[in-house]
Amino acid sequence: MDQIAIFASGTGSNAKAIIQYFDEHESIKVNCLLSNKPSAKALDMAASFGIHTKLISRAELENPMLLIDFLKERGISLIVLAGYLKKIPADMVKAFPNAIINIHPALLPDFGGKGMYGMHVHQAVVEAGVGKSGMTIHYVNEVYDDGGIIFQASVDLEETDQAADVAKKVLTLEHRHYPKVIEQLLLERSK
Ligand code: GRF
């Protein structure tokens, strides 16, 4: 069984789509959901599905080895970031080579990097007047939004679309693709 750990800081709508998709999957299991934010809705959502949840402590944020031990003890083979807003420490990247992935709500390399999260991304897309946006699933390395791209999907934008409209369109794409890309990645790896 491949065991997934999801990291989320916010609502957790992607986390929910992933948890639902892998419910009763024969070879992939969502093992736990971790958050750095006590108020993250993702924590309650995951608990309501019977998923083990964990609030990452300050000590764990400062000393990634503690978190790495926790994840290794639970047999985690893939860390899935879904709206997780803290930087992943270099030690964790080293401990999970090619086994940490993230979703970004735009077509990287455009509209990525520091400060490009949440509505800031969609606002920048609207201001740039581009005809489409989309989502990118990529490996995580030590630099924000910089790891190798695994999958991208795009959506057409209307001239009248505001940031909230773009956000809605992109989120629909994310929910459709993120679970399937995770599944494909893990099935490919276990071949
Ligand atoms: C998504 O748009 C994702 O691309 C970004 O953060 C957002 C998380 O949304 N990294 P949710 O918490 O999954 O609803």
Whole-angstrom CA distances from 94 to 70, 76, 98, 141, 173 are 15, 14, 9, 9, 30
Best residue for ligand 1 mutational test, from 35, 174, 176, 177 (most atoms within 8 Å of Cβ) = 174
Mean of all residue pLDDT scores within the chain:
96
pLDDT digits (tens, 9 = 90+) for 84-121: 999 899 999 999 999 999 999 999 999 998 889 999 99
Task: Say what percent of the chain tops pLDDT 90.
Answer: 93
- Scan for tokens 């736990």, then name that residue: 32
Residues 6+ apart with CB under 8 A from 173: 134, 135, 153, 155
Q: What is the phi/psi pair of residue 87, to 5°?
A: -70, 140
Residue 36: name the closest of 16, 17, 71, 62 by CA.
62
Report whether residue 105 contacts ligand 1, using a CB cutoff of 6 Å.
yes
Ligand 1: residue of 171, 176, 177, 181 to mutate (most ligand atoms within 8 A of CB) is: 171
Q: Which pLDDT score is estimated for 145?
A: 67
Tell me which residue has its CA closest to atom 12 in ligand 1.
12
pLDDT of residue 113: 87
Q: Is the pLDDT of residue 3 over 80?
A: yes
Ligand 1 atom at shortest distance from the alpha carbon of 84: 10
Which domains are seen in the chain, by residue range?
Answer: 2-189 (3.40.50.170)
- CB 179 less than 6 A from any atom of ligand 1: no
Verify whether residue 175 is a known catalytic residue: no
Q: Compute the distance from residue 14 Cα to the ligand 1 centre, in Å.
A: 6
pLDDT tens for each residue of 128-153:
999 999 999 999 987 766 789 999 99
